[in-house]
Chains A and B, each alone.
Chain A
């Protein structure tokens, strides 16, 4: 399973910074993450299943999107986007 790494406030709502989550794409992993941790339902993905505009997801340090493949040992970071100066 992929290791999903979170920061506050998501980590606080999920009870920790690191979570082992199953899925073959970023989209599947995030859907599973929100399903396993209901307090963050809708925080990362919007109602249409898209990653929110100001949330960034990285797979092993490379920016990913919903369709990006995820393998068993991958590290998936979910971060607030750095926007502005």
Chain B
């Protein structure tokens, strides 16, 4: 039995089933609210969801039973609440009005140590919990980084969307922020350094790239680590696919001239059993952001990006212009039993129980899908 937690524009849905026998909806929560991300902590079995009320803002909720009551977590706030006089003169400029306010929480990731979780959001904060997600605190090392005034948002906002831990070592962390870049820490998040060497900013004029290479303006879309070879990472960039073999210190292009219909996309996943594996879902980018030619394909590498092959048996062949967002692709198990699931903004969920060889539609008619996570 596989559990899929699907975050949508209109609440969270839990689907249960298996890729061959089909799935059914067994829970819905937060009706009418945007659920950016929902996950189940494998250490405790607890469910955590980042939920944004159109009216009342973003926060994290926790439960042991997604069909029951959810508890509101505390502490996912930015500095300023006790530093501002609410009766003070307001400039009237909307940019000033929301400076420093949390807009969304993009992702929740279990840490290495018991009870530790991380959450990333917009405008670029990293939060840490040490009690399983009930209370959170802001990582000041990143929030107060001197380069922050140079950070600029991507189309989805100034979002800290990727948090990658290192198996067995809580001191090593990797983050990615759009459109800022990759950040590395070797001291558990006390200090951070920008690490984007090798990434080519093709969205800038060629003559401007060298002068801006050191600046934090890299539009990273997603990063996953190969757990059996943790110094290896795969990255879906704004317009490129990259690999690092040195824990994110440098990056090499593995997407150009490899037959991919596009090197634009949002999510990337790996087979945990194979450090040479990665899966992407190319979209025509960046203005269109739909599946190329109306054909839905997942592309797979098993040689660390030297070559890519399309996997689409069972996926829509024509007239299917889908958009798959950053967090809407996930895996379960590994090797030959690897399960893959992704959801589209048009409400479909597709799944494979044989490492991408064959696919079936496991969900339909859902609201626009923001995230898919397995449990």
A 23-62 to B, binary, CB cutoff 8 A, 1 in contact else 0? 0010110110000000110111111111011110000000
How many residues of chain B get a CB closer than 8 Å to chain A's CBs? 26
Q: How far is the CB of B102 from chain A (nearest CB, A)?
A: 7
Cβ contact within 8 Å between B80 and A39 = no
Q: A39 CA to B90 CA in the complex, in Å?
A: 27
B86 touching A66, Cβ below 8 Å = yes
Chain B neighbourhood of A28, CB < 8 A: 86-87
Do A55 and B86 touch (CB < 8 A)? no
Question: Are A46 and B98 interface neighbours, CB within 8 A?
Answer: yes
* Chain A residues within an 8 Å CB radius of B54: 54, 80, 83
Known: A42-B59, A55-B55, A80-B55. A48 touches B87 (CB 8 A): no
Q: Are A27 and B80 in contact (CB under 8 A)?
A: no
> What residues of chain B lie closer than 8 Å to A10, measured between beta carbons?
56
Chain B positions 32-58 with a Cβ under 8 Å from a chain A Cβ: 53-57
Q: Contact at A25–B86, with CB atoms within 8 Å?
A: yes
Using Cβ atoms and an 8 Å threshold, which residues of chain A touch B80? 47-49
> B55 to A47, Cβ gap below 8 A?
no
Interface string of B65-104 (1 = CB under 8 A from A): 0000000100001111100111111100010011111100
Chain B residues at the A interface, C-beta cutoff of 8 Å: 53-57, 59, 72, 77-81, 84-90, 94, 97-102
9 A-B pairs with the lowest CB-CB distances in the bound complex, closest first = A27-B86, A46-B101, A49-B86, A43-B56, A80-B55, A49-B84, A47-B80, A47-B78, A54-B55
Can you list 17 A-B pairs with a CB-CB distance of less than 8 A?
A10-B56, A27-B86, A27-B87, A42-B77, A45-B86, A48-B98, A48-B101, A50-B98, A50-B101, A52-B55, A52-B56, A52-B57, A53-B97, A54-B55, A65-B90, A66-B88, A66-B90
